[in-house]
Structure 1
């Protein structure tokens, strides 16, 4: 409801001023920023990002296959891990293929419809990543702080419900961004985007919202989809650490915390860089820094997730070995 009133207020405020403006036509296409203008680096970047994309897709597919094929991994923890891997595949597929093609063709042109489609899918999957990581923190909280009630609390119905809610909230975030960005108009046929993909935070800078209203909506969305999940994760880990410290044996403490280490590392990488990019564009205009951080959370983090969970998790390594033995 709050989102609706904010958007309605900003929309009608802008429309009232636009009535006096004539001949304002929608932009037809966007020009994405190139990663480099050096022709000698183009083949290197093409090979690098193509390899990273293939490794990401293959690694996450292996995790999904291992979880689905091994009955020992049919638990809420690994159910959410397989969901996270699926979202990571979709997440990187919204940006990396277009970027790889642009590097090869040395073109950064994307149509208006194509840009909005990429932005919408990106917003959905980045938001789902955010919420699923929060749900996984809650799962670890229940497992460590309430182990005797874990199976009762984290039942299949609740797991399915949390997954559905994460998708619906992500879809809502995507549509709210669409409502704002659909008001982009220009006297020019094309507009430049200071990113290698249609980043919602960059598109909001081109929106016809006035600057003050634009920032209000952006900070509100950032707080709801950023600060709230981070607060939930921090609270869960506060309770987890408090419970672990009460375990008498050092071996028990290590075993309990080892189940959270991989998740905590992913949270730091993904939420730290993503949240910084989203809100950082309102106070910083350094294109180089913004590009590096964007590459980190759109390409590097999804690629590291399979390594992080497979190399640090004995159950996943065991499932992959059994999967390999059956294949051989």
Structure 2
């Protein structure tokens, strides 16, 4: 039996995402295109918010933070996966696996909380517009919301990463996934991790489920207020905005919850990979288009920057 300390110089083997024979190249091309789209969309959004003074508001400041997270989020997994595919080597060092796990968990937790704060912003703007300058000032965003999102994500990730990587590893170091993630590492451990899985469940309910419920409650209240106004145009716009936001938010929260709230005995490697693609690759691609590039103010800023 090998201990965590003894394993520091030993690589893990990532099985990878591409296990379909002649479809490997096609799937690799699709993932690469999605990666480039995510980078272009999020970089464009951050650039517009930075340059256009009309977008210097709390809502767009939070959106810029979301774009930064998404760029880092997708860059944590895809480049290593692509390098392994192109070089036909599937190894990742112990330290590299640990860092990837820490960064991925940090970004995932931060995004989950940030999405909740963004829904709160929309709730205040529509349901309590007179209080918006007080409740959603830039100072509150910079000094409270963003630090809480990043700090909570990092603290939670650090605790889980340090615990998992000090556990003894038995025999095979083959990780049946395309990146290092806590649920896929637990089957490699010698110790019984059932008690630790309860800790993961509690963390997931706090970091993922509570913000998701807050988003659902916020948008439900927003829709009620908008429909009480009696404006057909306003109603259709609110329904369109809320439904698109909820679709992407639901994709992120539901998929991550399904991964982090199940015991590892119920996990299926094939299903886990598909679900991981949805929240680690597809969501960062969709976020800039759904949350911002469909927004008239953002498109107006884009036109102004293009002359």
TM-score, scaled to structure 1 = 0.86
2-side partners of 1:212 and 1:284: how far apart? 12
Alpha-carbon distance, 1:254 to partner: 2.6
Q: Which entry has the higher C-alpha Rg, 1 or 2?
A: 1
Mapped to 2, the partners of 1:212 and 1:281 lie a distance apart of: 7
Kindly indicate whether the alpha-carbon contact (under 8 Å) linking 1:43 and 1:104 is maintained by their aligned counterparts in 2: no
Give the distance between the partners of 1:64 and 1:315, measured in 2 at CA: 14
Asked if the contact 2:81–2:179 (Cα under 8 Å) also holds between the matched residues in 1, the reply is yes
| Correspondence for 1:276 | 258
Question: What residue in structure 2 maps to residue 168 of structure 1?
Answer: 151
* CA distance in structure 2 between the aligned counterparts of 1:283 and 1:140, rounded to whole angstroms: 40
- Residues 283/321 of structure 1: CA separation in 2 closer, same or farther (3 Å cut): farther
Please tell me whether residue 118 in structure 1 is matched to residue 72 in structure 2.
no
More divergent stretch after superposition (94-103 vs 44-53): 44-53
| Structure 2 unmatched runs, 5+ | none
Of residues 176, 184, 202, the one that matches 2:184 is 202
How far is the alpha carbon of 1:41 from its aligned partner? 2.9
2:65 paired with 1:73: no
Residue aligned with 2:13, SS: strand
Closer, same or farther: CA 186–49 of 1 in aligned 2, 3 Å: same
Alignment of 1:36-51 (within 5 A): 36-51=18-33
Q: Distance in 1 between matches of 2:31 and 2:237?
A: 36
Residue in 1 that maps onto 2:141: 159
**Structure 2 counterpart SS, 1:94:** helix
The aligned counterpart of 2:208 is 226
2:163 equivalent in structure 1: 180
Alpha-carbon displacement from aligned partner over 1:119-146 (angstroms, at most 9, x marks no partner): 0000011111101100001101101110
Q: Distance in 1 between matches of 2:71 and 2:226?
A: 33
Offset from partner CA, 1:66-123 (integer Å, 9 cap, x none): 1111112111111111110010000001101001111112222111000000000000
Distance 2:285 2:3 in 1: 46
Quick one: which of 269, 281, 287 aligns to 1:299? 281
Deviates more, 1:149-158 or 1:21-30: 21-30
- Does the 8 Å contact 1:32/1:195 carry over to 2? yes
Q: Name the TM-score, length of structure 2 as normaliser.
A: 0.91
Q: In structure 2, how many angstroms separate the alpha carbons of the residues matched to 1:239 and 1:155?
A: 21
Q: Distance between the aligned counterparts of 2:298 and 2:220, measured in 1? A: 26
Question: Is the Cα contact below 8 Å between 1:262 and 1:312 reproduced in 2?
Answer: no
1-structure distance, mates of 2:170, 2:214 = 45
- Pair 1:248–1:224, CA change in 2 (3 A): same
Tell me how far 1:208 sits from its aligned partner.
5.2
Contact in 2 for aligned 1:36/1:42 (Cα 8 Å): yes
SS of the aligned residue for 1:41 comes to helix
CA distance, structure 1, for counterparts of residue 262 and residue 76 of structure 2: 22
In the TM superposition, residue 234 of structure 1 has moved relative to its aligned partner by 2.1
2:89 matched residue in structure 1: 107
- Relative distance call for 1:157 and 1:98 in structure 2 (3 A) is same
Question: Residues 232, 310 of structure 1: CA spacing in aligned structure 2 closer, same or farther, 3 A cutoff?
Answer: closer
Tell me the distance in 2 between the aligned counterparts of 1:250 and 1:231. 27
Q: How many residues align?
A: 304
1:313 counterpart = 2:257: no
2:6 — aligned with what? 26
User: Which structure 2 residues correspond to residues 107-146 of structure 1 after superposition, within 5 A?
Assistant: 107-146=89-128
How far 1:172 sits from its partner (Å)? 0.8
Q: How many angstroms apart in 2 are the aligned matches of 1:22 and 1:83?
A: 41
Equivalents in 2 of 1:24, 1:162: separation in Å? Answer: 36
Q: Which moved more, 1:217-226 or 1:306-315?
A: 306-315
